[in-house]
Amino acid sequence: MKVKEIDNIERIPLAIDYRRMYRARVTIAIGEAESSPCPVEFALELSPFGSQQVSVTFLGNTDYPLIPAVRLLKQHLVDLDRAGGLP
């Protein structure tokens, strides 16, 4: 299982500085099979102790197992944020 691409990333404006919310479309590949893009909503929240909490909500039907996909997507989002790839 692998995150193929995340596109149409759109930041949702919030009044809270330590929480960032986004909407996007994600495509996850399982082996050689590629599923259709699924809309997601995710949030990155900075705790008072400096750790980062990530929450992911799939807004549509998925063609892949949900729990492994959420775990994989959370790690991919943390890596993307560290690399500066989020608006």
Amino acid at 52: Q
Q: What pLDDT score was predicted for residue 36?
A: 83
pLDDT of residue 31: 83
* C-alpha dist (Å) from residue 77 to 10, 19, 32: 14, 14, 22
List pLDDT tens digits, range 1-35: 899 999 999 999 999 989 999 999 999 888 887 77
Q: How far is Cα 35 from Cα 23, in angstroms, rounded to an integer?
A: 19
For the chain, domain boundaries: 2-82
Per-residue pLDDT tens digits for 27-70: 988 888 777 899 999 999 999 898 999 999 999 888 888 899 99
* pTM of this structure: 0.89
CATH code linked to domain 2-82: 3.10.450
